[in-house]
Structure 1
Amino acid sequence: MPEQIDRMRRHWMAAAGAALVAGPTLRVSAAAGQTAPSGRKAAGAQASFGPVKQVAAGDLAVAYAEAGPADGKPELLLHGWPYDIHSYVEVAPILAAAGYRVLIPYLRGHGGTRFRSEGTPRNGQQAALAVDAVAFLDALNVERTLVAGYDWGARTACILAALWPERCKALVSVSGYLIGSQQANAMPLPPKAELQWWYQFYFATERGREGYARYTRDFVRLIWELASPQWRFDDATFARSAPAFENPDHVAVSIHNYRWRLGLAEGEARFDEIERKLAGFPTIAVPTITLEGDANGAPHPEPSAYARKFTGRYAHRTITGGIGHNLPQEAPEAFARAVIDVDGA
């Protein structure tokens, strides 16, 4: 889930540098046709992707959906936790119709994505997911792409834009700049802020690991409800995504992600240099649009807290109408519009 604003402010104070100039802030309303009204049910609950493809990419055999012309402009869409590729089931047709080659991989530990070796650590640290994304692009011979995401996907997208800008044409990131570090995460927050991270502390215990393994679907559904309190998704919408959490590595990757953040689990030494760079909170120079829902129930920073991390052409859009944490699924038109607009920036 996105980093709390207090934590991010400390991050960037520690990474202070020259003053950066940010672009305008835009508020997009339901009246403008960009979002769904408050209380919107998930449209297209019967919709899905065609046959899921698979490609060997680094540590993984990545399962992914693809839409649009094979020779279209690549667009990499990255989902979050605990969600899956169906967050983009209504975004993909819009982008495909606009001529994009839309690529939507299941993250490690989700859906049909599998580790290629039993010996590979079931690692959920931020650097591992970013390297996965680069390996996926390499496997498909994609040299440069637009990249967009939310939650874990937004963090990964931000890392790609910051550390591999030659591979990233432009960026759309829900909840803004989400790059973190273990050192910054070790700093305590006020009690009300810590309360929002209840599941992170639960996952730090063996009781939490066993509880998530035993009650995965119940747990995921609760997170969906808390993170998007006005999203009236139905049983069919949840059932479409639920098989993604039956991945044999889902629990291990999820638990490691949150334990690693708190310094309770080791990362892999091969990612140390990447994490060192990320701990300096590098700026992002590629054209960027950040998005935020007006009813995001998950911890997230205020746009003003991260605007200066984007040093290229930049705009922020607040999507109104009761839009929560899973923004591309709750407001697909607004999300797709941001991708098209940032491409033309």
Structure 2
Amino acid sequence: MEYKTIETTVLRVAYYEYGPQDGWAVILSHGFPYDIHAYDGVVPILEKSGARVIVPYLRGFGPTRFLSSATVTMRSGQQAALGSDLISLLDALGIDKAVLAGFDWGGLASCVAAVLWPERVAGLVSYAGYDVYNRVINRSPNDPELECVQWYQHLFQSERGRECLSQHRHKLCKMLWRQWSPTWNFSDREYDQTATSFDNPDFVDIVVHAYRHAHGTANGDPALQDLEEKLAARPKIIVPAVTLDGTRDPLKPGGTAAHGEMFQGRHEHFVYDVGHAFPLEAPEAFAEAILLVHKWMSHGSSSSK
């Protein structure tokens, strides 16, 4: 099966599409350092339920490209850019509303879209929790053990870190897979089929900017400043949502159950014995979360539990 492409206002997005055109729409967004293969075990389950499943390569990954190759076009990895990309993709595909589901950057993008454009989001599945950041808060240190796990974020703050990612991206990203999912015994083949996505010409710039912006050490795209100001206030999510946690994820010590207050619509939270790569490690559970949101949609339920 070959991927499709479609132009949005900024990108030529490469994506895979499954299921009937008139099915209920769901967009599955991957994170860093992953790609569309994160959902290989999720898609067949959703297809059987009659879903129209869209799995895009995020900006900076795989065949997705900026429409302009000019250096003046900012290769931003900030949260407002990732969330805007999802809404622009819905526009380009002619989809009014969709369930948005994701983990890591994909969870961030999905939460941002749900916060800023709730009228376009039929429901949300997020690993892990309310995944919208405030740059001011991010300047404060975490517990030393978490700071240690986030070594890559600190590395990317320097130009030496940029060069390390540029020269050793495949080795570095494979290390992250192992560290973040300590009990998932993935094969070299599984990693290699994803790692080709990191050869995108904008990969390094976008990854570095994402973590510098989140830590408050790099400015964002001026065109997105209004959106970032809205996100800084950490608005609550009003769409129906399922949030997920993995007990073996060192990036989320203690989980995200405390995020419950950030969800004003119907909300359920589930915990599984997996690491950070949730849809790869527990595809059935991830699909079940999406199907639960769809069930709520079918019954017209958006009230708080």
- State the TM-score bracket (shorter-chain normalisation): over 0.9
Counterpart of 2:177 (choices 210, 219, 224) is 224
1:69 aligns with 2:20: yes
Q: CA deviation at 1:300?
A: 5.2
**Mapped partners of 2:143, 2:285: distance in 1:** 33
Moved over 6 A (4+): none
Which residue does 1:236 correspond to in 2?
189
Counterpart of 1:86 (choices 34, 37, 53) is 37
Which residue does 2:198 correspond to in 1?
245
Residue identity in the other structure for 2:196: P
Counterpart of 1:100 (choices 51, 54, 64) is 51
After TM superposition, the structure 1 stretch with the greater mean CA deviation from structure 2, 329-338 or 190-199, is 190-199
Which residue does 2:281 correspond to in 1?
330
Please give the residue correspondences for 1:1-345 in structure 2 after superposition, counting only pairs within 5 Å: 50-119=1-70, 120-299=73-252, 302-320=255-273, 323-345=274-296
Secondary structure in 2 matching 1:128? helix
Is contact 1:175-1:300 (8 Å) kept?
no
TM, length-normalised to structure 1? 0.83
RMSD, matched Cα: 1.1
Q: CA deviation at 1:221?
A: 0.3
Secondary structure in 1 matching 2:249? coil
In structure 1, runs of 5+ residues without a counterpart are: 1-49
> How many aligned positions are there?
294
Secondary structure in 2 matching 1:215? helix
**Mapped partners of 1:145, 1:296: distance in 2:** 28
Is contact 1:196-1:299 (8 Å) kept?
no
Is contact 1:68-1:93 (8 Å) kept?
no
**Bigger relative contact order, structure 1 or 2, given CA contacts below 8 A and separation 6+?**
1
Q: CA deviation at 1:97?
A: 1.0
Is contact 2:149-2:250 (8 Å) kept?
no
**Mapped partners of 1:339, 1:190: distance in 2:** 33
**Mapped partners of 2:106, 2:17: distance in 1:** 17
Is contact 1:290-1:315 (8 Å) kept?
yes
TM, length-normalised to structure 2? 0.94
Is contact 1:69-1:101 (8 Å) kept?
yes
Secondary structure in 2 matching 1:344? helix
**Mapped partners of 2:62, 2:3: distance in 1:** 10
Is contact 1:122-1:253 (8 Å) kept?
yes
Secondary structure in 2 matching 1:87? helix
In structure 2, runs of 5+ residues without a counterpart are: 297-305
Residue identity in the other structure for 1:328: P
